[in-house]
Chain A
Amino acid sequence: MGGRLSLAQRRKLLPYLLVAPGVAWLVVFYLIPALNQVYVSLEDGNIEAGYSFQWNWSTYGDAVSNYSEQFVRSLGYAGVATLLAFVIAFPLAYFIAFKAGRFKNFLLLLIVLPFFTSYLVRTIAWQTILKDDGFVVNAFQTLGLVSEGGRLLATRTAVIAGITYNFLPFMALPLYVSLEKIDKRLIEAATDLYASRGTAFRKVTLPLALPGIFAGSLLTFIPAVGDFINAQLLGTSRQYMIGNVIQSKFLVVTDYPIAAALSFLLMAVLLVAILIYARALGTRTLVESAA
């Protein structure tokens, strides 16, 4: 193709040729479906008679009024799970980055290894662990953490614990990467200049770890909001999240317009949330580095 083109022209064209196949794939199978959802969500009808395009905006009203509970619950569960994952993963990542010495790579492998077992198998294993009259429930009952005759499985606690578990590496690994990058001399310099260890941590370590906190919390929160496996396997319909609704509307009830509307709303809410979050964390880093 390039026989007649000059080298400079070829150079200019080459990046577009490189990105073209992949971008085409994403346009056809990601972007168009995303937009097509809006089209489907505005259709009216039912599965027997077929659906036709009607500018039926009322679907969005129904979606919000009927399923705001599941929306709020999804955001709540995902938020709590992200926070828990951070609380569990930060000391772990800190330990591996600063204290683990020659066990560093070994510990990183241990974090990744469990996730080579299937997601569903892992979650079903939690079912076995938390089951009624199992060891864990009995131990919790003895300690008074669960009431006599109370359960762990089929509760909100189980669902949130499952989500926390399943997305923990997505939190731990980015945290580790950003902590590992920190130049230890900066922390030493802070303590040499009479900052207490706590102050050095707050003013040096934490701000420098912000990119990892940002990436880790997004990588945990996004899949957590859309998750429906944990709610289905470890909870009941009272713990169902928006993912459960979308899945059942699409595959069981086959009410496509409402499913598409919910799915589009979920995507829109998340994108806005991500933008706000990026803005908030970004500006804070700027302010802190300027101060």
Chain B
Amino acid sequence: MSAVAEPRPASGAGIRTEHGTGARAWAWLRERLLALWAVLAIVYLFIPIFVVVAFSFNDNKGRFNLTWNGFTLRHWEHPFRVAGLGPAMRNSLEIAAISTVIAVALGTLIALALVRYRFRGKAPLDLFIFLPLATPEVVLGASLLALFLTVNVATGFATIVIAHVMFNVSYVVVTVRARLEGMDLHIEEAAQDLGANEWTTFWKVTFPMILPGVAAAGLLAFALSIDDFVITNFNAGQTVTFPLFIYGAARQGVPAEVNVLASAILFIVVILMVLNVLVQRGRARRAFGRAAPAPAPATS
């Protein structure tokens, strides 16, 4: 990360207008300060993460896991030994999976309509899709619970799924839409000109093109769902999810096993990211291997 010095024409342009060694020293210092600030900001982002991971290895005595007391692997050996943690995690995963599938389907269809077609009511629809994103979670959760109370629906697993789909649809629309907007409409027209009907065109042409956007939206929706506390808390009834379990435990001291699961999720994400980079590098190498013998990843 120390390689920030870069002789670029931009800095040459700077010297042309700013004379003297004082100005040059200031420019040099400014670049270093900027890099330092960026590093400090990232360190700030990682401080609590470091604590979470470290305390998953803490040999704590008693209920509380607040003071460092030596290294142990015992929490990692049986993370689900803590009563209720396993079922809570399973609920979270199931809710995230179901609500993601529904939200992605509903949101992708809306995104397709918004980008592909001109129709009456499009502008108000745009605003309407934006509204849930501009509403604080506590309002979304509270008002949905008020509705369930008004119409006498018992809250539980199903109402959590309903709530998660509701707050995820708009995120999916925004994400898929961003991907669709940069795309060439003419390919679809070409497919239809060549005799494909709308259905075939969708599955053979449109869907493969939007798949990366849909996948990104799915990942986002899954992540938002599995980590949601506020809206879930309002609409959970007796069902306990992973965040609700943590919240309940927070009063009596969060067991180190929660840190284990949180760290494990983080490690899995890191591994997936590294694999993704390696796969893409491999693909780039295969694609450009013949043409360029030393295929450094193209500087973006």
A5 and B100 alpha carbons, distance in the complex (Å): 34
Is there an interface contact between B139 and A188, defined as CB atoms closer than 8 Å? no
Name the residue among B114, B138, B243 with the largest chain A CB count within 10 angstroms: B138
Our pick among A10, A218, A256, A267 for the contact of B146 (Cβ within 8 Å) is: A256
Is there an interface contact between B266 and A113, defined as CB atoms closer than 8 Å? yes
Beyond the given A30-B132, A121-B258, A222-B134, could you list 8 further A-B residue pairs with CB under 8 A, ordered by the A residue number? A26-B129, A114-B49, A117-B263, A191-B13, A196-B18, A227-B138, A250-B146, A264-B143
Question: Is A60 an interface residue when CB atoms closer than 8 A count as contact?
Answer: no
Please give the number of chain B residues whose Cβ is less than 8 angstroms from any Cβ of chain A in the complex: 93
Is there an interface contact between A246 and B138, defined as CB atoms closer than 8 Å? yes
28 contacting pairs across A/B (C-beta < 8 A): A14-B198, A19-B109, A25-B169, A26-B129, A29-B166, A30-B135, A33-B143, A39-B150, A92-B38, A96-B38, A100-B38, A102-B300, A109-B273, A110-B46, A113-B49, A117-B49, A118-B243, A120-B229, A184-B10, A197-B17, A197-B18, A222-B135, A229-B230, A251-B234, A263-B142, A266-B139, A267-B135, A271-B131
State the majority secondary structure of interface residues on A: helix
Is there an interface contact between B146 and A33, defined as CB atoms closer than 8 Å? yes
Chain A residues 207 to 253 lying within 8 A of chain B, measured CB to CB, are: 218, 222-223, 225-229, 233, 243, 246-247, 250-251
Question: Is B119 an interface residue when CB atoms closer than 8 A count as contact?
Answer: yes
Q: Which residues of A have CB within 8 Å of B117?
A: 11, 14-15, 18
Our pick among A36, A91, A104, A195 for the contact of B143 (Cβ within 8 Å) is: A36
Question: Is B110 an interface residue when CB atoms closer than 8 A count as contact?
Answer: yes
A260 and B141 alpha carbons, distance in the complex (Å): 11
State the majority secondary structure of interface residues on B: helix
Is there an interface contact between A22 and B265, defined as CB atoms closer than 8 Å? no
Q: Which residues of B have CB within 8 Å of A182?
A: none
Question: Is A140 an interface residue when CB atoms closer than 8 A count as contact?
Answer: no
A225 and B149 alpha carbons, distance in the complex (Å): 25
Is there an interface contact between A228 and B138, defined as CB atoms closer than 8 Å? yes
Q: Which residues of B have CB within 8 Å of A55?
A: none
- Output the least CB separation between B140 and chain A (Å): 7
Name the residue among A11, A14, A105 with the largest chain B CB count within 10 angstroms: A14
Is there an interface contact between B136 and A19, defined as CB atoms closer than 8 Å? no
Is there an interface contact between A33 and B41, defined as CB atoms closer than 8 Å? no
Question: Is B239 an interface residue when CB atoms closer than 8 A count as contact?
Answer: no
Is there an interface contact between A121 and B66, defined as CB atoms closer than 8 Å? no
Chain B residues 133 to 166 lying within 8 A of chain A, measured CB to CB, are: 133-140, 142-147, 149-150, 162-163, 165-166
A228 and B230 alpha carbons, distance in the complex (Å): 9
Return the chain B residue nearest A88 by Cβ. B41
Question: Is B225 an interface residue when CB atoms closer than 8 A count as contact?
Answer: no
Is there an interface contact between A37 and B136, defined as CB atoms closer than 8 Å? no
Question: Is A69 an interface residue when CB atoms closer than 8 A count as contact?
Answer: no
Our pick among A16, A18, A226 for the contact of B137 (Cβ within 8 Å) is: A226
Return the chain B residue nearest A105 by Cβ. B300
Q: Which residues of B have CB within 8 Å of A33?
A: 143-144, 146-147
Is there an interface contact between B265 and A117, defined as CB atoms closer than 8 Å? yes
Is there an interface contact between B49 and A259, defined as CB atoms closer than 8 Å? no
A249 and B7 alpha carbons, distance in the complex (Å): 60
A40 and B139 alpha carbons, distance in the complex (Å): 14
Question: Is B73 an interface residue when CB atoms closer than 8 A count as contact?
Answer: no
Question: Is A181 an interface residue when CB atoms closer than 8 A count as contact?
Answer: no
With contact pairs A34-B143, A226-B136, A259-B142 given, residues A251 and B233 touching in the complex (Cβ less than 8 Å): yes
With contact pairs A243-B138, A267-B139 given, residues A114 and B45 touching in the complex (Cβ less than 8 Å): yes
Q: Which residues of A have CB within 8 Å of B300?
A: 102, 104-105
A256 and B148 alpha carbons, distance in the complex (Å): 12
Our pick among A11, A107, A246, A266 for the contact of B42 (Cβ within 8 Å) is: A107
Is there an interface contact between B119 and A12, defined as CB atoms closer than 8 Å? yes
With contact pairs A15-B113, A39-B150, A191-B14 given, residues A125 and B143 touching in the complex (Cβ less than 8 Å): no
